[in-house]
Chains A and B, each alone.
Chain A
Amino acid sequence: MQQEITAVAPRLKEPGEGLTLALTATLKRDLVLMLRRRGEVLNPLVFFALVITLFPIGISPDPDLLALIAPGLLWVAALLAALLSLDSLFRSDFDDGSLEQLLLAPQPLAALSLAKVAVHWLLTGLPLALMAPVLGIMLALPSGSYLVLAVSLALGSATLSLIGAIGAALTVGLARGGVLLSLLVLPLYIPVLIFGAGAVQAAIAGDSVSAHLAILGALLAAALMLAPWAIAASLRISING
Chain B
Amino acid sequence: MWAFIHKLGSPKWFYGISARLEPWFWVAAALLIVTGTVWGLAFAPADYQQGNSFRIIYVHVPAAFLAQSIFVSMAVAGLVFMVWKIKVADMAATVMAPLGASMTFVSLFSGAVWGVPTWGTWWMWDARLTSMLILLFLYLGVIALRGAFTSRDSASRAASVLAVVGVINIPIIKYSVDWWYTLHQPASFTITSRPAMPTEMWMPLLIMVLGFYSFFIALTLMRTRNEILRRESNKRWVRDRVQEA
Contacts and interface: CB of A to CB of B under 8 A. Distances in A.
B60 to A, nearest CB: 22
A56 interface: no
B165 A230 contact: yes
B161 A190 contact: no
Contacts, number: 80
Given A188-B169, A194-B176, A226-B168, A183 B183 contact: no
B180 A194 contact: yes
Interface stretch (B87-95, B111-119, B148-156, B200-208): B148-156
Given A174-B149, A183-B140, A198-B183, A190 B158 contact: no
A219 B169 CA distance: 10
A187 B138 contact: yes
B134 interface: yes
Contact of A241 (B141, B149, B168, B179): B149
Nearest to A182: B141
B154 A238 contact: yes
B105 to A, nearest CB: 15
Interface of B: 82, 134, 137-138, 140-141, 144-145, 148-149, 151, 153-155, 157-158, 161-162, 164-166, 168-169, 172-173, 175-177, 179-180, 183
Given A194-B179, A237-B154, A241-B154, 6 more contacts: A186-B137, A187-B137, A187-B169, A191-B175, A198-B183, A238-B154
22 contacts: A170-B145, A171-B148, A173-B154, A180-B141, A180-B144, A180-B145, A184-B162, A186-B137, A187-B138, A187-B141, A188-B165, A190-B177, A191-B169, A191-B172, A194-B179, A195-B176, A198-B183, A219-B172, A230-B161, A233-B161, A237-B158, A237-B161
